[in-house]
Amino acid sequence: MERAVAATGSNEDTARPEAPRTHVGRFAAIAAAVVILDQITKALVRGWLDERETWPEGFDLIRISHVENSGAAFGILQGGGPFLIASSILGAVIVLVFLRAAPPGDRLYETALALVLGGAIGNLIDRVFRGTVTDFIDPTHYPAFNIADSSIVVGVIALAVLSLWRPHGQEDAGETAGGETGDGAEELG
């Protein structure tokens, strides 16, 4: 097979199509947008309401309440700062590992991972610099939460739906149209 030398001096096959790549810029922009929105809303709540203050008073469906949480979701592990910081860092690393293993070009999967990472970083910033996480979205009969928490939950649910929704083998980038895997063995079933 004849090789063509591109203007860049690369000696790659011109007939070989490029595999879709992870959209790192898009992934980073989504994660950064979550972090920025999370931090801005928390700062607004801290500046607007005193701790434990609620607005509007007497509204029973959902309110804005300034809650400082030194624990995890639903107030568990109160005072578990170092453990929660380490868990957040580990979670962020795991998200990056999943991103690296993501099906090439799968924007929904990448977006879900970006939501989880952005949420984890948003709450990590609070834990490291404030010692607590500011929660403010306060449904009356449910624990208060924030944008980062919402982002993590939406991302995790999306990942679960994507993993259940896709037909078996669809995410396998090594599979060819002829039903063969990249190693030459035919797929059974």
Question: Which tens digit of pLDDT belongs to each residue from 95-142?
Answer: 999 999 888 889 999 999 999 999 999 999 999 999 999 999 999 888
Average pLDDT of the segment spanning 39-56? 96
**Strand (E) or helix (H) holding 108:** helix 107-130
Q: What is the pLDDT of residues 165-179, one digit of tens each?
A: 875 555 544 444 444
Which residue in the list 38, 106, 126, 149 is annotated as catalytic? 149
Task: Report the C-alpha gap between 121 and 167 in whole angstroms.
Answer: 32
Cβ atoms within 10 Å, residue 1? 5
- Choose among 154, 153, 144: nearest CA to 75: 144
Task: Report the C-alpha gap between 134 and 78 in whole angstroms.
Answer: 13
pLDDT at 128: 96
7's tokens = 């203007």
With H, G, I as helix, E, B as strand and everything else as coil, classify residue 63.
strand
* Strand blocks (E) in 58-177: 62-69, 133-139
What residues contact residue 61 under an 8 Å CB cut-off, 6+ apart? 139, 140
Going by pLDDT thresholds of 50, 70 and 90, the confidence category of residue 72 is confident
Task: Report the C-alpha gap between 124 and 38 in whole angstroms.
Answer: 11
Whether 188 shows a pLDDT value over 50: the answer reads no
pLDDT at 76: 82
Average pLDDT of the segment spanning 136-160? 95
pLDDT at 24: 87
Going by pLDDT thresholds of 50, 70 and 90, the confidence category of residue 181 is very low
Using DSSP bridges, classify how beta strands 62-69 and 54-55 pair: parallel, antiparallel or unpaired: antiparallel
Question: Would residue 106 show up in a list of annotated catalytic residues for this protein?
Answer: no
The pTM score is 0.76
Which residue in the list 38, 126, 135, 138 is annotated as catalytic? 135
Q: b/e string for 78-105 if b means 16 or more Cβ within 10 A?
A: eeeeeebeebbeebbeebeebbeebbee
Using DSSP bridges, classify how beta strands 133-139 and 62-69 pair: parallel, antiparallel or unpaired: antiparallel
